[in-house]
Copies of this chain bind each other. A is one copy, B any other.
Amino acid sequence: MDEYAKLSINQITTRDQWSLAEAITGYGRHGIHAISVWRDKLLELGIREGARMLSDAGMTVTGYCVGGLLSARDDAVFQERLEDNRRMIEEASTIGAECLVLIAGGIEEGSRDIDGARERAKEGLALLLPDARAAGIIIGLEPLHPMVCSLRSVLTTLEMANDWCEELGAGDELGIAVDVYNVWWDPNLAREIARAGNRICAFHVSDWLADTRDLRFDRGMMGDGVIDIEKIREMVETAGYAGYSEVEIFSERNWWRKDPDDVVETVKDRYRRYV
B-binding segment of A59-67, A153-161, A169-177: A153-161
Residues of B within 8 A of A184 (CB): 114, 149
- Nearest-Cβ distance from residue A51 to partner chain B, whole angstroms: 37
Contact A228 B114, beta carbon cutoff 8 Å = yes
Q: Which of B163, B186, B226 contacts A150 (CB 8 A)?
A: B226
A229, closest chain B residue (CB): B112
Contact A147 B145, beta carbon cutoff 8 Å = yes
By secondary structure, the A interface counts as loop
Residues of B within 8 A of A145 (CB): 146-147
Contact A156 B114, beta carbon cutoff 8 Å = no
Q: Assuming A107-B226, A114-B228, is B208 touching A150 (CB within 8 A)? A: yes
CA gap between A213 and B159 in the complex, in Å: 27
Q: Which of B113, B147, B151 contacts A147 (CB 8 A)?
A: B147
CA gap between A186 and B159 in the complex, in Å: 11
Is there a chain B Cβ closer than 8 Å to A178's Cβ? no
* In the complex, per-residue mask of A214-249: 1 if CB is within 8 Å of any chain B CB, else 0: 110000000001111000000000000000000000
Residues of A15-74 whose CB lies within 8 A of B: none
**How many copies altogether?**
2
Contact B114 A226, beta carbon cutoff 8 Å = yes
CA gap between A160 and B160 in the complex, in Å: 16
Residues of B within 8 A of A147 (CB): 145-147, 212, 215
CA gap between A90 and B80 in the complex, in Å: 60
Is there a chain B Cβ closer than 8 Å to A259's Cβ? no
* In the complex, per-residue mask of A95-126: 1 if CB is within 8 Å of any chain B CB, else 0: 00000000000010101111000100000000
Contact A186 B156, beta carbon cutoff 8 Å = yes
- Nearest-Cβ distance from residue A229 to partner chain B, whole angstroms: 8
Q: Kindly list 14 other residue pairs between chains A and B, CB separation below 8 angstroms, not including A156-B187, A157-B186.
A: A107-B210, A107-B226, A109-B210, A111-B226, A114-B184, A114-B228, A145-B146, A146-B146, A147-B212, A149-B185, A150-B208, A150-B212, A150-B225, A151-B210
Please provide the 6 A-B residue pairs with the shortest distance between their CB atoms, ordered closest to farther: A147-B147, A149-B185, A146-B185, A112-B228, A160-B187, A107-B226
